[in-house]
Chains A and B, each alone.
Chain A
Amino acid sequence: MDLTLLLIQLLNGVQYGLLLFLIASGLTIVFGIMGVINLAHGSFYMVGAYLAWSLTAWTGSIFWALLLGVPLAAMLGLLVERLFIVHLYNRDHLQQVLLTFGLILIFNEMQSIIWGDDPHSVPKPDFLQFSIPLTEVQSYPAYNLFLAAVCLVLAGVMYWVVQKTRLGMRIRAGSSNPEMIQALGINTKVLFATVFSIGTTMAALAGLLAAPERSVYPGIGEQVLIISFVVVVIGGIGSIKGAFVGAMMIGLMDSLGATILRAFDDVELMSGLSVDNLTSVTVYALMAAILLWRPAGLYGRAH
Chain B
Amino acid sequence: MSTRKTYSRRGALGLMGAAAGVGTLAGFTPTKFAIGQQAKVRVGTLLPYSGTYARLGEAITNAMQMRFAQSKEMIGSREIELIKLDSEAAPPKATENTSKLINSEKVDFLVGPVHSGVAMAMAKIAREEGVMTIIPNAGADQITGPLCAPNIFRSSFSNWQPGYPMGRVLGAEGKKRVVLCYWNYGAGQQSAQGFKDGFAESGGEIIKEIGVPFPEVEFQSVLSEIASLKPDAVYTFFAGGGAVKFVKDWAAAGLKDSGIELTGSGFLTEGVTEAQGAAAEGLRTTLHYADTLDNDVNNVFRRNYKEMWGSEADVYAVQGYDAAEMIRVALEATDGDTGAKDDMIKAIENTVYDSPRGPFKLSAAHNPVQNFYLRKVVNGVNEVQSIAVEALSDPAKGCRLG
Contact = CB atoms under 8 A, between A and B. Distances in A.
Interface of A: 1-2, 4-5, 8-9, 12-13, 15-16, 108-109, 112, 117-121, 131, 133, 135, 137-141, 143-144, 213-215, 217-220, 223, 254-256, 258-259, 262, 265, 276-277, 279-280
B82 interface: no
Contact of A137 (B241, B258, B272): B258
Interface string B219-231: 0110111011010
B224 A9 contact: yes
B392 interface: no
A50 to B, nearest CB: 13
Q: Identify whether the interface residues of A are mostly helix, strand, loop, or mixed.
A: helix
B293 interface: no
Given A137-B230, A214-B217, A280 B260 contact: no
Given A140-B253, A223-B216, A258-B221, A119 B228 contact: no
Interface in B82-121: none
Given A119-B241, A121-B275, A133-B254, A144 B217 contact: no
Nearest to A8: B224
B51 A138 contact: no
7 contacts: A15-B220, A119-B244, A131-B253, A138-B253, A215-B245, A255-B221, A280-B184
Contacts of B215: 219, 223
Interface in B29-69: 50-52, 54-55
Given A112-B54, A139-B253, A223-B216, A215 B244 contact: yes
A141 B213 contact: no
Contact of B260 (A137, A219, A220): A137
Interface in B194-231: 208-211, 213, 215-218, 220-221, 223-225, 227-228, 230
Contacts of A258: 221
Interface in B245-289: 245, 248, 252-255, 258, 260, 271-272, 274-277
Given A112-B54, A214-B217, A5 B244 contact: no
A137 B218 contact: no
A4 B228 contact: yes
A117 B258 contact: no
Nearest to B272: A119
Interface of B: 50-52, 54-55, 184, 208-211, 213, 215-218, 220-221, 223-225, 227-228, 230, 240-241, 244-245, 248, 252-255, 258, 260, 271-272, 274-277
B258 A120 contact: no
Pick the most buried of A15, A109, A139, A144: most chain B CB atoms within 10 A of its CB.
A139
Contacts of B224: 5, 8-9, 12, 138, 255, 259
Contacts of B50: 109, 112
Listed from nearest, the 5 A-B pairs whose CB atoms lie closest are A217-B241, A139-B254, A255-B221, A138-B227, A280-B213
A12 B224 CA distance: 9
B220 A16 contact: yes
A120 B255 CA distance: 22
Contacts of A13: 221
B367 to A, nearest CB: 26
A125 to B, nearest CB: 14
Contact of B241 (A139, A144, A220): A220
A137 B223 CA distance: 11
Given A131-B254, A215-B241, A262-B210, A121 B218 contact: no
Given A118-B275, A141-B253, A218 B51 contact: yes
A215 B211 contact: no
Given A119-B240, A131-B253, A133-B254, 16 more contacts: A2-B228, A4-B228, A5-B225, A12-B220, A12-B221, A16-B221, A121-B277, A135-B227, A135-B228, A138-B254, A144-B220, A213-B252, A219-B241, A223-B216, A255-B221, A276-B211
Contact of A121 (B209, B248, B253): B248
A234 to B, nearest CB: 17
Contacts of B228: 1-2, 4-5, 8, 135, 137-138
B99 to A, nearest CB: 24
Contacts of B255: 137-138
A127 to B, nearest CB: 15
A110 B329 CA distance: 41
Nearest to B209: A265
B316 to A, nearest CB: 13
Nearest to B230: A137
Given A117-B55, A137-B230, A259-B225, A214 B245 contact: yes
A279 B277 contact: no
Pick the most buried of A1, A16, A135: most chain B CB atoms within 10 A of its CB.
A135
Contacts of B225: 5, 9, 259, 262
Nearest to A136: B258
B211 A277 contact: yes
A279 B227 contact: no
B221 A138 contact: no
Nearest to B271: A118
Nearest to A277: B211
Contacts of A12: 220-221, 224
A191 B54 CA distance: 41
A2 B218 CA distance: 22
B276 to A, nearest CB: 7
A108 B88 CA distance: 13
B221 A223 contact: no
Contact of B52 (A139, A140, A219): A219
Contacts of A214: 217, 245
Contacts of B52: 117, 217-219
A12 B219 CA distance: 10
Nearest to B259: A137
Contacts of B227: 135, 137-138
Contacts of A219: 52, 215, 241
A121 B50 CA distance: 22
B253 to A, nearest CB: 5
